[in-house]
Structure 1
């Protein structure tokens, strides 16, 4: 279902256009980029990429395909640029500033000694696999540098991430460039190195309509020193059958993770929220959970069946948006049949 134009503060940059000038402004956003906007010789390309331009159920963008392109992206992200990058929907946040004037005490939960099932945004202190598979994303959209979050998922190519659609493509607008993933990012450090994206994939409903019910994306990464990201840090399970009618009605206990960077957070450490979901009543098929994490956490994983002792779980959604009228609830799209189709295309690249 296509969402209404109610302001959302973890949504894509297209939300800023809707807030400024209504849906007509959004209609004037740049046309979607072609499936392959970088010039790559046919003789050096994998045929699967060419087929994706004609495939149903997926919109695809080639990113840093060659070694030279990957090196250029890594060179772009200097320490200074990484520090200056803003959480991706900050432009929308500026437009709903009044709705965000909550005290620091109410937005940032006090850290507790151990992970628990009712967190609203505490730092994650539990360790485990989630601290390696979750990472911070750095990207450029329309000439501006932004940050998001993402997670490594178990895949055939051992190189696939799940994130938010608006962290890969600005709805009906531009695709992201300079897309780089830093697994286990912590206080400015890159303990497992940096990985550039070679392919970005979203659902057609996101590319065509910026539909928040489909605000998910897959990124396929280049290797680093001959090793895939999954070989280096591990991976989380991903499921596409979590959101049955009964479970949506009853609620699902979830743990959500990300790198919130808008005030009062600073994007330097991994935070989490946890609780039972409720269905969105604002016009999407997304589900919500109590959470004060801000922009920058977009694209972070939502886990069902999460084990706080090992940091392992099954990803069933990603951090997507908040309503300006309710900054205490974070929403994530259901990963279902459409997400499975995007994932299957990604893992076979």
Structure 2
């Protein structure tokens, strides 16, 4: 037996400076409320119940904490028996073993490549602003993921992996904050946006089903400005044709990466060879911390604009060079419908 591994990365708990205050919270007394837009069960969680809570979250994530990611040691601790990822792993090929993905460091290409399993993105464009790092706390430990802004009615929504929002059947993430265009030494060039409300699909909340490893989060505003108005958004599409060319982005933090640079993979999508999920695979050696990063089709490297059709979710232990992402169907569409009304 082997397991799928959601790609979280841990961050240490250090004392630091207070971040800028945000506004835009919509208090909601009831939490974890199942709703069913478009006939699909969605589970909702109120992440922050008012301005004071938003300020507390901002103060928690100091530049020192953001920069002090320790993905190897803390990830090993929380993925053990009874740890964070317990219950999120699915049965896989008997020949596979659970491993930590590693990869050689490569130089950044001056021109984006159409086939790469991991290169630094140095071209800029929209994707360099809309993709960001997520900082969160689960079970008393700090983690990092990746996410992207998407076009939404309230101009506040980001899409990420479900396991970057809720620990499957377990608890919701706390201190959830999105930093678009994250840079070295904790740089926050476009501000910092804590979560107001979080949304996952019923099958993810009930059983940690990898087919539904998608989360959407409605953010608070920063200085009265919506995140979409500050950095822009990417299109997102549902029930798209399978296969084709895709570009995947994220902030891998496990060595040889360090979480301070946007990295991309590019290539053709393929079906899950074990037929354990409806997910598709992309050649990609990005490591822990890249979970939730957007996969785009119809991507234009010159402008950094594309259409999100999946995101980084898990790897099989016998193939560390292929990342798998969920197919965005009706359930993901219902998530957006709920999140953009929040």
3-state SS of paired residue (1:235): coil
Of 197, 200, 210, which aligns to 1:199?
197
Q: Which runs of 5+ in 1 are unaligned?
A: 14-43
* Greater percentage in helix: 1
Decide whether aligned partners of structure 1 residues 153 and 263 sit closer, same or farther in structure 2, where only a CA change above 3 A counts: same
Alignment partner, residue 12 of structure 2: none
Of 163, 168, 172, which aligns to 1:166?
163
3-state SS of paired residue (1:232): helix
Decide whether aligned partners of structure 1 residues 113 and 223 sit closer, same or farther in structure 2, where only a CA change above 3 A counts: same
8 Å CA contact 2:133, 2:180 repeated in 1: yes
Shift of residue 241, structure 1, vs aligned partner: 2.2
For the residues of structure 1 that align with 2:106 and 2:50, how far apart are their CA atoms? 44
Shift of residue 52, structure 1, vs aligned partner: 4.6
Of 280, 286, 292, which aligns to 2:272?
280
Alignment partner, residue 231 of structure 1: 229
8 Å CA contact 1:86, 1:145 repeated in 2: no
Alignment partner, residue 90 of structure 1: 75
Q: Which runs of 5+ in 2 are unaligned?
A: 10-25, 81-95
3-state SS of paired residue (2:168): coil
For the residues of structure 1 that align with 2:302 and 2:122, how far apart are their CA atoms? 11
For the residues of structure 2 that align with 1:10 and 1:132, how far apart are their CA atoms? 24
8 Å CA contact 1:9, 1:92 repeated in 2: no
For the residues of structure 2 that align with 1:94 and 1:132, how far apart are their CA atoms? 31
Return the TM-score normalized by structure 1: 0.82
8 Å CA contact 1:153, 1:161 repeated in 2: yes
For the residues of structure 1 that align with 2:286 and 2:136, how far apart are their CA atoms? 20
Return the TM-score normalized by structure 2: 0.83
Alignment partner, residue 261 of structure 2: 269
What are the residue-to-residue correspondences of 1:6-25 with 2, within 5 Å?
6-10=2-6
For the residues of structure 1 that align with 2:161 and 2:305, how far apart are their CA atoms? 20
Tell me the number of residue pairs that the alignment of Structure 1 and Structure 2 aligns. Answer: 305
Question: Once superposed, what is the RMSD of the aligned Cα atoms?
Answer: 2.4
Shift of residue 202, structure 1, vs aligned partner: 0.4
3-state SS of paired residue (2:190): coil
